[in-house]
Chains A and B, each alone.
Chain A
Amino acid sequence: MGYTTVIKPKNKLFEVDLKEIWRYRDLFSMFVKRDIITQYKQTILGPAWFFIQPALTTIMYMVVFGGIAGISTDGLPQPLFYLSGIVCWQYFADCLNKTSSTFTTNQGIFGKVYFPRLIVPLSTVTSNLVRMGIQFLLFLAVYIYYLIVGASVAPNAYALLIPVLILMLAGLSLGFGIIISSMTTKYRDLTILFTFIVQLWMYATPVIYPLSTMSPKRQWIMALNPVTSILETFKYGTMGVGTFSWGMLGYSFAFMVVLLAIGIVVFNKVQRSFMDTV
């Protein structure tokens, strides 16, 4: 019988053991379950918080951005416009914030036992998906209400892209998150910088304003942000208003694939000995 385990100082750069991750799939589902179960344990309202957060945020935006600042919503009912942006952006931001601290928050368990570290950010992105799904129901309820009332919303075939859009949000946040978390094991400055970058990032993404309010030149700059086209496509597909182009969406998709590949390679390299520097 040959040696089945070999532990050596360095691995090759692209030696990512995907088979191993598959072998730990039960752990992955346990982590997802744990995240969901424990999030609202010992709270009175429990899962209702899933709805309360986006609902209150929407009301807030309606007062501040829609009311006081008077920013256009592309002719859409304000609750619908803000809610669609919030549900998507919140998912992206939540995943990003959580995955970007993978190493620092899990150092206790990582220091004791080995399992493929990538399982943790993967399960974070997945468990947040459940939360997003529930919030999406809220969006759907409001959406149906406006359909019945007869507001100017018209879904079209591009709504079928929604699963892809969600996948892209997941991929982008995972990619950014694991790169950041790999970089912050040694130099913590980035953690501080990053939490505030995420806050600002929202204003560089068409969450509270439609892309159509910008000049075509500015739109092009905005589209460099890979999240922009995802949000715009979402609004376009569900409500028929917004800016959509295959080129922009294709750019975001390619961006995600490259980012994810870099992220996994970097993460894989760092995970092997981060315990010494964290």
Chain B
Amino acid sequence: MTAIEFENISKQYRLGLVSTRTLSHDLNRWWKMNILGKEDPYLKIGEVNDRAHRGESEYVWALKDINFKVEQGDVLGIIGKNGAGKSTLLKILSKVTTPTTGTIKARGRIASLLEVGTGFHPEMTGRENIYMNGAIMGMTKAEITRKLDEIVDFSGVERYLDTPVKRYSSGMTVRLGFAIAAHLEPEILVVDEVLAVGDAEFQKKAIGKMQDVSKGEGRTVLFVSHNMGSISTLCKSGILLKNGSVSYFGNVNKCINQYISEGSQDATYFGNNFNNDVYYKQVSIINSKGVSSNTIAFNDRVGIQFELGINNYILNSTLSFTLYDSKLNAIFTSHNMLSNGSKSITAYLPTELLLAGTYYVKPILHVPNLRFLDNCDTLISFTIEDTGSEHSFYNRPDLGVINIVPQWLEN
């Protein structure tokens, strides 16, 4: 069953200062629309929201023709670069603002967690604020009283319950805020980046709670985050927004891959600091034939080839690199001290080391603990394609990163 349906949702904003010349714009708009019967002169169709490029109109589409449906019980991850329209989408969904065009239809109560602890009053105690915040979120007093113990327990601020919130640490405020929100019982929960705060223990608790909410209780969750790790653990499906439009909608892992590949530079990195003492000429990923390629088969050999230039050899110059997985977790780092005259060096990874997926290399050219010799400001990406390993038989989305074959023994 469909829980939420977005139909042609668009949202227009005006750039620059809102308070200047709006009266003339308003009058002009009113004149054209109501007297002349024309369309709104400030709604230009087809202008794309890209914050890096200057548009022609002062008005911009933060969202443009968003269409998708979320099934009940689904956990949908909403991802995209800053300014892609994620927050605008959530704002419309939580009724903070209205769409310019289009309709959203939903089954059940929508509660949004755009920022935890909304409406906390610093002078009021923790207990008073639980009631206050719960009521803002749409709970009744009786509902809150029934859940008070659970909320206090979850937040772990029992000792400070009768202390004004202004005496709380920021972490405690967030914990209390999340605890209240987590105990709301809406059919649809909208969450924006709350997990970025709080300590590791609390984040784990929060993720666990969100999983319970979606799995155990069959509720629909829309989750916005820049943390691909938590998106992939929590969500089943994903939607990728790009400049206000939907760029991908479907399986969450595919969605994440698309997001990362859109955002990163691929293939070969060309250096540009040719006056440094030691510098990169180029860095590329090569296969066993020595050909540069950013897609390498599972059973082929991956080489990271560095072409360096040396103007002035520095003692202890070291070339290191770190390999990252697709969620930007570091896998390992390796170092190699350079000798005077090292011009072309290739680091070969053991064959069949990495499972299928996308990986990133970050090179570091430095004199350890003293200085950096050259800076490579992009990640060099490559993809391992499964061309028939034993894993390809198991159609599971997340098998891990490293291919380790243990010794299987029958006793």
- CB of A115 closer than 8 Å to a CB of B: yes
Q: Give me the 9 closest cross-chain CB pairs, A-B, nearest first.
A: A114-B95, A27-B135, A7-B104, A3-B105, A5-B106, A112-B118, A26-B141, A38-B123, A273-B98
- From B99, B103, B106, A4 is in contact (CB under 8 Å) with B106
Chain A residues lying within 8 Å of B131, measured Cβ to Cβ, are: 30
Chain A residues lying within 8 Å of B23, measured Cβ to Cβ, are: 187
CB closest residue in chain A, given B93: A7
- CB of B311 closer than 8 Å to a CB of A: no
Q: In the complex where A114-B96, A275-B91 touch, is A5 in contact with B105 (Cβ < 8 A)? A: yes
Task: Tell me, in angstroms, the Cα distance from A4 to B137 when the chains sit together.
Answer: 17
8 interchain pairs (CB within 8 A)?
A8-B102, A9-B102, A26-B140, A34-B128, A115-B138, A186-B18, A273-B97, A275-B91
- From B93, B99, B107, B112, A3 is in contact (CB under 8 Å) with B107
CB closest residue in chain B, given A37: B124
- CB of A10 closer than 8 Å to a CB of B: yes
Q: In the complex where A9-B98, A26-B141, A114-B112 touch, is A109 in contact with B123 (Cβ < 8 A)? A: no
Q: In the complex where A109-B118, A113-B118, A113-B119 touch, is A27 in contact with B124 (Cβ < 8 A)? A: no
B contact residues, range: 35 or more
- From B91, B98, B100, B135, A30 is in contact (CB under 8 Å) with B135
Chain A residues lying within 8 Å of B119, measured Cβ to Cβ, are: 109, 112-113
A4:B108 contact, CB within 8 angstroms: yes
Cβ proximity bits A218-242 to B, threshold 8 Å, 1 near / 0 not: 0000000000000000000000000
- CB of B75 closer than 8 Å to a CB of A: no
A to B contact number (C-beta, < 8 Å): 114
Task: Tell me, in angstroms, the Cα distance from A115 to B115 when the chains sit together.
Answer: 15
Give the interface centre of B101, B119, B123 by most chain A CB atoms within 10 Å.
B119
CB closest residue in chain A, given B140: A26
CB closest residue in chain A, given B164: A41
B138:A6 contact, CB within 8 angstroms: no
- CB of A136 closer than 8 Å to a CB of B: no
A113:B137 contact, CB within 8 angstroms: yes
Give the interface centre of B132, B137, B138 by most chain A CB atoms within 10 Å.
B138
Chain A residues lying within 8 Å of B114, measured Cβ to Cβ, are: 112-113
Cβ proximity bits B107-135 to A, threshold 8 Å, 1 near / 0 not: 11110101100110101100010011001
Task: Tell me, in angstroms, the Cα distance from A41 to B184 when the chains sit together.
Answer: 30
- CB of A15 closer than 8 Å to a CB of B: no
- From A1, A24, A42, A113, B107 is in contact (CB under 8 Å) with A1
A7:B95 contact, CB within 8 angstroms: yes
- From B18, B92, B103, A277 is in contact (CB under 8 Å) with B18
A24:B135 contact, CB within 8 angstroms: yes
Chain A residues lying within 8 Å of B91, measured Cβ to Cβ, are: 111, 275
Chain A residues lying within 8 Å of B98, measured Cβ to Cβ, are: 7-10, 272-273
B99:A112 contact, CB within 8 angstroms: no
From 1 to 23 in chain A, residues with beta carbon under 8 angstroms from any chain B beta carbon are: 1-10, 23
Task: Tell me, in angstroms, the Cα distance from A100 to B140 when the chains sit together.
Answer: 28
B136:A7 contact, CB within 8 angstroms: no
Chain A residues lying within 8 Å of B104, measured Cβ to Cβ, are: 5-8
- From A4, A6, A113, B96 is in contact (CB under 8 Å) with A113
Task: Tell me, in angstroms, the Cα distance from A53 to B262 when the chains sit together.
Answer: 64
Task: Tell me, in angstroms, the Cα distance from A1 to B102 when the chains sit together.
Answer: 22
CB closest residue in chain B, given A34: B121
Chain B residues near A (Cβ < 8 Å):
1, 5, 13-14, 18-19, 22-23, 91-110, 112, 114-115, 118-119, 121, 123-124, 128, 131-132, 135-141
Chain B residues lying within 8 Å of A33, measured Cβ to Cβ, are: 128
In the complex, how many angstroms separate the beta carbon of A6 from the nearest chain B beta carbon? 5
A contact residues, range: 35 or more
Chain A residues lying within 8 Å of B96, measured Cβ to Cβ, are: 110-114, 275
Cβ proximity bits A81-114 to B, threshold 8 Å, 1 near / 0 not: 0000000000000000000000000000111111
Chain A residues lying within 8 Å of B100, measured Cβ to Cβ, are: 9
- From A1, A8, A30, A114, B1 is in contact (CB under 8 Å) with A1
Task: Tell me, in angstroms, the Cα distance from A42 to B124 when the chains sit together.
Answer: 12
Chain A residues lying within 8 Å of B141, measured Cβ to Cβ, are: 26, 29
In the complex, how many angstroms separate the beta carbon of B59 from the nearest chain A beta carbon? 11
In the complex, how many angstroms separate the beta carbon of B116 from the nearest chain A beta carbon? 10
A188:B19 contact, CB within 8 angstroms: yes
In the complex, how many angstroms separate the beta carbon of A133 from the nearest chain B beta carbon? 22
CB closest residue in chain B, given A113: B118
From 262 to 278 in chain A, residues with beta carbon under 8 angstroms from any chain B beta carbon are: 272-273, 275-277
Task: Tell me, in angstroms, the Cα distance from A23 to B139 when the chains sit together.
Answer: 9
Task: Tell me, in angstroms, the Cα distance from A163 to B118 when the chains sit together.
Answer: 36
Task: Tell me, in angstroms, the Cα distance from A8 to B11 when the chains sit together.
Answer: 11
B115:A112 contact, CB within 8 angstroms: yes
In the complex, how many angstroms separate the beta carbon of A66 from the nearest chain B beta carbon? 39
Chain B residues lying within 8 Å of A112, measured Cβ to Cβ, are: 96, 112, 114-115, 118-119
From 115 to 133 in chain A, residues with beta carbon under 8 angstroms from any chain B beta carbon are: 115
Chain A residues lying within 8 Å of B140, measured Cβ to Cβ, are: 26
Cβ proximity bits A25-65 to B, threshold 8 Å, 1 near / 0 not: 01101100110011001100000000000000000000000
Give the interface centre of B96, B105, B141 by most chain A CB atoms within 10 Å.
B96
Chain A residues lying within 8 Å of B109, measured Cβ to Cβ, are: 4-5
